[in-house]
Structure 1
Amino acid sequence: MPAAVPSAASTYNRATRRAWTAKKKAIAQSDNPEQLKEAADNTLFGKKRKSEDGTDTVPKVQRQKRARADVLKTDPAAAKATAVRKADKHSYSAAKGAGSKRSAFKPASKSTGSASSTPYNIKPHGEAVKVSLHAWERLRQDKTPAAERAQLIDTVLASFQGTMVQVLQKHDAARVLQSCYRLGNPEQRKELMTRIKGQVVQLSLSHYGHFFVMCIVRHGTTEHKKMLEAELRGHVCELVTHAEGSAVLQLVYNSVATPAQRNAMYREIWGKDFALLGQSKQTSLAQLFEEDPAAKPRVLRRMEALLSKAARKGLAMTALVQRGLADLLQHADAGQQAVLASVLKEAVPHIMHTRDGARIACSCLRYTDPKDRKTILKALKGYVARAACDANAALVLCVALEVVDDTVLLRKAIVSELLAELPSLAVHAHGSLPVLALLAPRDKRYFEPAQLSIMGEAGSGLSKKDSAQRRDELLQVLLPPLCRLCASQAGSLARSPHGSSVLFEAVQAASVAKSVESSPVLRALAEASIQQGEAAVGGGPATVGEEGEEGEEGEEGEEG
């Protein structure tokens, strides 16, 4: 009978548990786990087979194992290359011992017919780059004489003869050639421009080559910059969605291109047919759709596909992309506006300081759902006061205060940070705009037409709460500290061109609101006015005795 498997031991007895574990392990590793009696005819898998006469067992036939091929432990190609290198090294050592002047960087001649005649793999243009780096260490120093520097640059240009575009793909050679262009004489600069002629677009799309193009834009002559702009013309759509190409395009757009050339670059985004019409006079989508309404669906689809791709790559910071996105959000339908706003919500804090970026940010706040609006406002945490002091970002805060329905979120994200810096913001040219946006919404006395155009139409968007209700809820938080500020600093606010507007609107809003008492503000303002009047008449506040003495002296002077 097979032995019974012992029952599980108590887990609280460590010695018993260890013995039980060892016993189980022994049973698992045993060749006879059932503890059968040793018999000649018994095996683990049954009885042995008998021979025909019943006297002997038949041996089990063993399967013959097929011999396996030897596993290659080294790559044959690598082994061959290693043998070639060793042979070349041996031949060079022998030649050096015999007094030969053969270079160590050149393999043995193919005419010998030996194994060392096969050239081994070296870095492309490695010798030329090495020569240029040695020259670069000397030519970039300020103490190097001009004549020696010119000779060193000629050496670099000679080493890169016919391989300029190829070596500009290397990080070290690209730096050398940037120094050569920046420090070279007019003839050497012209030689460099001749060698890259027709290859500017390829270099602009290169990881290291685009730095050379940007070096020309920063330090080049007007003629060289015009050549770059001419070669980039017609390739705007290819460059605007490329990480390196967009950097080159941004620099050319801001530093080189004229207003007419900028409009031509912008028209390339509309489509290939507009890129071919170089004499077109349209500068915005509004003008285009007014002259050709049938082109609106096609142009909007083209711009949405191109610019959304650039935005997803994080390239929404370039001026050309921002200009296109701002116009697209203005003229697109509701579905396109919602899709673009959700794509651009992460970029709002980074682009709201530019004019077109502020237009995009206002549109994102207007056309996104409450969840995306919350994401945008949370991204501004800690930067509201700085944004309020910017000419364009302050308008974004004004739009947020008039379109976001969640007033609790507005109090925590925007109003609380405005109140923390209220004394300085109240007298600031741009910092006072978010405060005035609540006290006097879109009042033309404080908001210029250009600012109102950036903010967009009032009441448009996806907001559901009534604007008057939203404003009252926010004023309940803003007015008490604002009135205390006006009462304590009435004189300084009254003398400030922007603080006086805040003071006037605060007094007017406090007189209407029932929860705030405006009399302390008026009393402080009256006292400040009296003090200012006395200072203007007598040069400062005077006592009664001083007034009497001054009066007597004045009378004596008149009598005299």
Structure 2
Amino acid sequence: MAPKNQQSNKTNKRKHVPAAKPDAPDRPTSKRPKLAAPKRSGPPTATKRSDKPFKPKFQKSEPDTVKKAPLSKRERRINAKELAEARKKKRKPYYELEHELSSLWEKMRHRNIKKEDRSKLVTEALQKMRGQISEIAGSHISSRVLQTCVKYCSQAEKDAVFEELQPHFLTLAGNTYAVHVVKKMLDNASKTQLAGFISSLHGHVASLLRQKVGSIVIEHAYGLANATQKQELVMELYSAELQLFKDLVSLKESRLVDVISKLNLQKASVLRHMNKVVQPILEKGIVDHSIIHRVLMEYFSIADQPSATDVIQQLSSPLLIRMIESKDGSRIAMLCVKHGSAKERKKIIKGMKGLIGKIAHDHGGSLVLVCIVSTVDDTKLITKVVIREIRKILKELVFDKNGRLPLLQLLHPNCSRYFSPDDLTSLNLSIPSLSAKGESEAKSSKNEKSNKTDTKDDTDTEVTEVEGNENTSGDELHLVEGGKKDPFLRRQELLVNSGLAEGLIDICIESAGELLRSNFGKEVIYEVATGGSDGILHPTLDDKLNTLHAEIASLAAKSSEESEEEHVLKNFHSSRAIRKLVLDCPTFACTLWKKALKGKCELWAKDHSCKVICAFLESSDSKVRGLAKKELQLLIDAGIIKIPETKHSANEG
């Protein structure tokens, strides 16, 4: 028997030796009986396994044929084009016709084509379109072909196209592409055809004005129509009766207040109808058309205070800038400035930011700027938005007929020499319902007699001119509505304190000769040289004004041979401007005499320069007359200078 330690070592060695796996289990395995498969109702299935290898369910099988090569960009583009054409053929019934017309159009629209060849192409295209013109006019492509055909075809062909399109004009007027064809047809229409078209619009004017496309057709027809036809288009916007009954439209009265009194219409019902017409148009922002401007002016003439205030609030935005190109549109803008609140005026002025130059060059826009500088008390805002942009283009504005008006308004307000009667009428308009309180206060302060007071009905209110214009003296008028600030103080802050006057004098010194010879610039340099109305440039800018006087005198002192341009004393415009300065500005007259005319009067005693010399004797200042009397008297005695008897007798008196 082995020792105990030896047995333990043997056992340890056995533990580390891995046992070999037996090939088969020691115990016998008993086979379980196979269960019988359930019977299926159907054809027997094969129980044998297929020899094909197993494939996953979603694995793509290898193609039997070789893969097709990818299409090139050109082939893909051609396939897409063919597919698009096939779809267009299914969708458009006139696809083939449009294709033929477009090929003809490419030939007829060239500039270098002969007239005979073009007329043949136009005739061929019109023959292809015959009977289908109304459908073709609404297409993006074929409508352009039709426009070209109408432009170059004969009058007989134009009449044929007009007759075919006439029953469909109302439908085509709302189409984005057909609207251009309709406008082209109206441009080439005869008076009878235009009258027929305007007559067919009766009852549909308000609905078309609410559409962006339809309103273009109405505005185009309104621009081509005569005064009677314009009245027909506008009248049905006033009331439902005028919209329904066509016979009432043919009235001679053009103003709404006259129409109301003539037909005995109720003012409240007219106001409600116009409110239904105006509000959708304003909400959609369709305010570019002159017919809408006229309707708004008539609306203001009868509107009560809440209605007028509501419309002013809607218009007091950048939307108003799109209206000032027309006469009525600029008047509406001025009414909004006059009767708007401080907040609304601020919106209007801020909406002009960056557009002052464009606005100033337009006549209606320049009048709006004149109204702003004459009415709005917030001079800091005007200086920041308006004056700052004016200073950038100041030299350009002084030579422009319209651009100089705001400058002249600040130098000499409401002067009839620079503003036409129609301009002064526009500047003095007001809304009756919003200015009634001020008018009643003015009437009560005057203590008029009871037998002289005029009784007014509600139907007699209208947008009127300023009352009391007859009482104004001289050539100045005063606005009805305005700010609370003193007008002279407002002008001083805008003209002098802002630095505008200093820049204006510098430009006058720099371009004195050019301004004097200019038809419009001479008036600006005259007002600057005289110091403006009420001496607004004195005494702050006296030194610069003296420099300007010296510059004009130095130009007059030059001989005719020294300057290439016509001499300032011989030029038609400059001679009249200098003569006027001699009569109205004694300081300038003394400077001119000492530097340019003393001892040389005989040289200038002919042509236009003679009027400048005679102005020294016609001056109301005794000092000016005394300077030239001795030298000019010799010329008068010699018969070289003749002074009119009326002026001579007035000076003697």
TM-score, normalized by length of structure 1? 0.65
Report deviation, 1:215. 1.5
Counterpart of 1:176 (choices 115, 135, 145) is 145
| 1:155-197 alpha-carbon deviations (Å, 9 max, x no partner) | 5445445433223221112122222322333443333222222
- Per the alignment, residue 344 of structure 2 pairs with 372
- The Cα RMSD (Å) is 3.7
Q: What's the counterpart of residue 263 of structure 1?
A: 231
Please tell me the residue identity of whatever aligns with 1:295. Answer: Q
In the TM superposition, what whole-angstrom CA distance separates every residue of 1:39-86 from its partner, at most 9, and x where no partner exists? xxxxxxxxxxxxxxxxxxxxxxxxxxxxxxxxxxxxxxxxxxxxxxxx
Is 1:527 paired with 2:496? no
Q: Deviations over 1:343-396 (max 9, x none)?
A: 223222222232112101111212333233223222323332443343222111
CA contact (8 A) 2:150 2:185 kept: yes
Paired position in structure 2 for 1:432? 404
The answer to whether the 8 A contact 2:408-2:524 is kept is no
SS in structure 1 of the partner of residue 531 of structure 2: helix
Is the counterpart of residue 498 in structure 1 residue 563 in structure 2? Answer: no
Question: Which residue in 1 is equivalent to 2:285?
Answer: 314
Among 369, 384, 397, the residue aligned to 1:397: 369
Determine if the alignment matches structure 1 residue 230 to structure 2 residue 295.
Answer: no
Distance 1:164 1:473, change over 3 A: same
Per the alignment, in what secondary structure is the counterpart of residue 527 of structure 1? helix
Distance, in Å, in 1 between the alignment partners of 2:522 and 2:508 is 14
Distance 1:171 1:315 in 2: 24
What corresponds to 1:274 in structure 2?
242
Measured in 1, the distance between the counterparts of 2:271 and 2:595 equals 62
Give the conservation status (yes or no) of the 8 Å contact 2:411–2:536.
no
Match of 2:96 among 127, 144, 154: 127
Give the whole-Å Cα distance in 2 for the aligned partners of 1:340 and 1:122: 46
Structure 1 unaligned spans of 5+: 1-104, 107-119, 541-560
Structure 2 distance, partners of 1:295, 1:404, is 37
Residue 327 of structure 2 corresponds to which residue in structure 1? 355
Check the 8 A contact 1:329/1:337 in 2, yes or no: yes
Cα distance 1:361–1:127, how it changes in 2: closer, same or farther (>3 A)? same
1:515 and 1:286 map into 2 onto residues whose CA distance is: 51
Q: Give the partner amino acid of 2:200.
A: E
- Is residue 2:176 matched to residue 1:207? yes
What amino acid is the match of 2:279? Answer: S
Q: How does 1:74-85 map to 2 (within 5 A)?
A: none
Q: Is the 8 A contact 2:531 2:538 kept in 1?
A: no
Distance 1:180 1:423 in 2: 48
* Residue from 411, 414, 419 that aligns with 1:442: 414
CA distance, structure 1, for counterparts of residue 273 and residue 383 of structure 2: 40
The 3 A distance-change label for structure 1 pair 531 and 195 is same
> Are 2:410 and 1:410 aligned?
no
User: Does the 8 A contact of 1:132 with 1:155 survive in 2?
Assistant: no
- Once the 2 structures are TM-superposed, how far is the Cα of residue 262 of structure 1 from its aligned partner? 1.1
Partner SS for 2:273 = helix
Asked if 1 retains the 8 angstrom alpha-carbon contact of 2:143 and 2:178, the reply is yes
Q: Determine if contact 2:176/2:213 at 8 Å carries over to the other structure.
A: yes
Rg larger for: 2
Task: Give the direction of change, closer, same or farther, for the CA distance of 1:436–1:128 in structure 2 (3 Å limit).
Answer: closer
* SS class of match (2:162): helix
- Report % sequence identity: 24
- Work out whether residues 491 and 528 of structure 1, in 8 Å CA contact, stay in contact via their aligned partners in 2: no
Residue 418 of structure 1 aligns to which amino acid in structure 2? I
The answer to whether residue 308 in structure 2 is matched with residue 337 in structure 1 is: yes
Which stretch shows the higher mean deviation, 432-441 or 361-370? 432-441
Q: 2:494 aligns with which of 467, 474, 479?
A: 474
Shift of 1:320: 0.6
Letter paired with 1:217? L
Residues 1:538 and 2:594 aligned together: no
CA contact (8 A) 1:493 1:503 kept: no
Checking the alignment, whether the CA contact within 8 Å between 2:383 and 2:494 is kept in structure 1 is yes
Aligned-residue offset at 1:261: 0.9
What is the alpha-carbon distance in structure 2 between the residues aligned to residue 297 and residue 122 of structure 1?
A: 52
**Alignment CA distance shift 1:190-1:440 (3 Å):** closer
CA deviation after TM superposition for structure 1 residue 450, in Å: 1.0
CA distance in 2, matches of 1:505, 1:271: 55
Q: Which residue of structure 2 lines up, in the alignment, with residue 7 of structure 1?
A: none
Specify the alignment match of 2:69 in structure 1.
none
Deviations 1:67-106 (A, max 9, x none): xxxxxxxxxxxxxxxxxxxxxxxxxxxxxxxxxxxxxx99
What letter is aligned with 1:211?
H
Deviation, 1:329, is 3.1
Distance 1:306 1:287, change over 3 A: same
Residue of structure 2 aligned with 1:192, choices 158, 161, 184: 161
Match of 2:651 in 1: none
Distance of 2:539 and 2:202 partners within structure 1:
63
User: Contact 1:411 / 1:474 at 8 angstroms: preserved in 2?
Assistant: yes
Larger displacement relative to structure 2 (339-348 or 314-323): 339-348
Could you list the per-position Cα deviations for residues 268-313 of structure 1 after superposition, in whole angstroms to 9, with x for gaps in the alignment? Answer: 2212423421321111224335546753333233223323322333
| Cα distance between partner residues in 2 of 1:425 and 1:164 | 50
Give the CA deviation at 1:209. Answer: 1.4
- Which of 297, 302, 324 lines up with 2:268 in the alignment? 297
Q: 2 CA distance for matches of 1:137 and 1:512? A: 65
Alpha-carbon separation, structure 2, partners of 1:408 and 1:228: 52
Once the two structures are TM-superposed, the CA of residue 330 in structure 1 deviates from its matched residue by 4.4
CA distance in 1, matches of 2:116, 2:516: 66
Q: Secondary structure at the match of 1:282?
A: coil
Closer, same or farther: CA 286–530 of 1 in aligned 2, 3 Å: farther
8 Å CA contact 1:317, 1:350 repeated in 2: yes
Whole-angstrom distance in 1 between the partners of 2:111 and 2:501: 62
Partner-residue secondary structure (3-state), 1:205: coil
Equivalent residue number for residue 71 of structure 2: none
Distance 1:447 1:153, change over 3 A: closer
1:354 is matched by which residue type in structure 2?
S
Letter in 2 for 1:267: M
Distance of 1:475 and 1:122 partners within structure 2: 67
User: Structure 1: how far apart are the matches of 2:120 and 2:506?
Assistant: 73
> What is the alpha-carbon distance in structure 2 between the residues aligned to residue 150 and residue 486 of structure 1?
58
Shift of 1:328: 2.4
Distance change >3 Å, CA 199–CA 529, structure 1 → 2: farther
Contact 2:549/2:591 (<8 A) preserved: yes
Name the amino acid aligned to 1:270. Y
User: For residue 309 of structure 1, what is the amino acid of its counterpart?
Assistant: P
* Bigger relative CO (Cα 8 Å, ≥ 6 apart): 2
SS at match of 2:167: coil
Quote the Cα distance in structure 2 between the aligned partners of 1:488 and 1:536. 27
3-state secondary structure, aligned to 1:171: coil
Q: Which of residues 234, 243, 249 in structure 1 aligns to 2:218? A: 249
Structure 1 residue 451, shift from structure 2 partner = 0.8
Equivalent-residue separation in structure 1 for 2:480 and 2:138 (angstroms): 50
Q: Is residue 529–residue 549 contact of structure 2 (8 Å, CA) maintained in 1?
A: no
